[in-house]
Amino acid sequence: MSAHPLTGDHEDDYEDVEETKNDIKTNKCGPISVYVQGNINNITLTTPVFMTVHDLGTNHTEFHKLVEHPCMAKLKARSVWLHVEIPGQEFDAPDLPESLEFPSMDTLAEELVNVLNYFNIKYCVTLGEGAGANIIARFAIAHPDRVLGNILIHPTPNVEGVMQYFHDKMMTWRLNTLGMNSAAEQYLVFHKFGAHENIQNRDHVIKDYIQKLYSRMNPKNLRLYVESFLARTDLTPQLKDKMKVDTMLCSGSRNSHSHQVDQMQAAMDPKLTTRVKLDDCGDVLQDTPEAFAYDLLLFCQGLGLFSALPVSRHGSICA
């Protein structure tokens, strides 16, 4: 494993995660790669299954930080994780075929049902971050019978907000000819980390993220995912009547989307909605994995999962 060129540290502590890759055919998105952590062959009706979708500028490996964290060991041992890779977003990916029209947020959501069907899974807990949370929310609305619970990190249901400040810049982002550039970098860093001042270890984390953007993400493919996200339709009018799934909305207090998460909560059925705001962080999975794991466990126990897994009075997950 090579040393990180900007920080001198290892590029990815979870590069050697044990997982299996499955390429699943879809009608509208082409093949979708799904990476499985856990024993997919021994799933029962009581086995917790999680399906994840990642944010812009990242890929499925972003969830390794959560699943492989020591605080998640007891949950990981009792569950199976299906990490969906948005087309063309894997590290060192070749250009997507020009004949393939990159799917919209709605189309990506519609095709996720093929993942569950492929593995013969009746229902799962869905977990998405950023743009991935928008996709997951659409999937839960379209297929509520396949979603046991819905965990959305920094979701952006509407088409307005602080991120639109960068919209004009992104419309002139020509990654297919210029490659990664400062405007794209600024957009993606702000999208992921928000107001990241005073966050512990922020320099290391952000440098590592930027290094991967330049060295391992395909800029043409990334631009297509960003443009699909920017062209999203407003989910807000559908939330009250059509979101029929228990949902946990999670954000860091310093993230650029935190106010939009509050707006999403206000638009949803309060009986089905749990709001979690973690203090002094921008990137929930990176900055506060222990706190997020604790809230995830409590939410899942409310769904009837992990009932035999106790939690201490201090919020730690016990054996």
The 10s digit of each residue's pLDDT in 143-161 is 999 999 999 999 988 886 5
159 burial via Cβ count (<10 Å: 0-12, 13-18, 19+): middle
Of the two residues 179 and 153, the one the predictor is more confident about is 153
Indicate the range of 74-83, 167-176, 184-193, 299-308 predicted with least confidence.
167-176
Asked whether residue 222 is domain-assigned, the answer is yes
Looking at the structure of the chain, the number of domains it has is: 1
Nearest in space to 286 (alpha carbons), one of 111, 134, 68:
68
Asked whether residue 9 is domain-assigned, the answer is no
- For the chain, give the percent of residues with pLDDT over 70: 82
What local confidence, expressed as pLDDT, does residue 10 receive?
40
Backbone angles phi, psi at 199, to 5 degrees: -85, 130
What local confidence, expressed as pLDDT, does residue 311 receive?
65
Asked whether residue 12 is domain-assigned, the answer is no
What local confidence, expressed as pLDDT, does residue 281 receive?
82
Mean pLDDT value across the chain: 84
For the segment 286-302, the average pLDDT, to the nearest whole number, is: 93
CA angle at residue 279 from 273 to 281, to 5 degrees? 105
In which order are the strands placed within the sheet that holds 147-153?
Answer: 20-24, 32-37, 80-85, 49-53, 124-129, 147-153, 247-252, 273-278
* SS3 call for 95: coil
Of the two residues 280 and 103, the one the predictor is more confident about is 103
Examine the pLDDT at 166 and tell me if it is beyond 70. no
Indicate the range of 48-57, 157-166, 227-236, 255-264 predicted with least confidence.
157-166
Asked whether residue 41 is domain-assigned, the answer is yes
Q: Residue 42: pLDDT band by 50, 70, 90 thresholds?
A: confident
274, 248 in Cβ contact below 8 A? yes
Examine the pLDDT at 274 and tell me if it is beyond 50. yes
Of the two residues 123 and 286, the one the predictor is more confident about is 123
DSSP letters of 13-70? TTTT---EEEEE--SSS--EEEEEES-GGG--TTS-EEEEE--TT--GGGGHHHHTSG
In this structure, what CATH number is given to the domain that contains residue 258? 3.40.50.1820
Q: Residue 2: pLDDT band by 50, 70, 90 thresholds?
A: very low
Examine the pLDDT at 9 and tell me if it is beyond 50. no
- For the chain, give the percent of residues with pLDDT over 90: 58
CA angle at residue 54 from 17 to 283, to 5 degrees? 90
Examine the pLDDT at 98 and tell me if it is beyond 80. yes
Residue 201 is which amino acid? N
47, 105 in Cβ contact below 8 A? no
Examine the pLDDT at 184 and tell me if it is beyond 90. no
> What is the spatial distance between Cα 74 and Cα 70, in angstroms, rounded to a whole number?
9
Indicate the range of 83-87, 197-201, 204-208, 289-293 predicted with least confidence.
197-201
pLDDT tens string 25-39: 999 998 999 999 999
Q: Residue 170: pLDDT band by 50, 70, 90 thresholds?
A: low
Q: Residue 179: pLDDT band by 50, 70, 90 thresholds?
A: low
98: which 2 tokens?
A: 């020009």
DSSP letters of 291-316? HHHHHHHHHHHHTT-STT--B-TTSP
What local confidence, expressed as pLDDT, does residue 141 receive?
97
Asked whether residue 146 is domain-assigned, the answer is yes
Indicate the range of 17-26, 32-41, 51-60, 193-202 predicted with least confidence.
193-202
Asked whether residue 126 is domain-assigned, the answer is yes
Domain limits at 52? Answer: 20-302
Asked whether residue 176 is domain-assigned, the answer is yes
> What is the spatial distance between Cα 129 and Cα 60, in angstroms, rounded to a whole number?
11
Asked whether residue 309 is domain-assigned, the answer is no
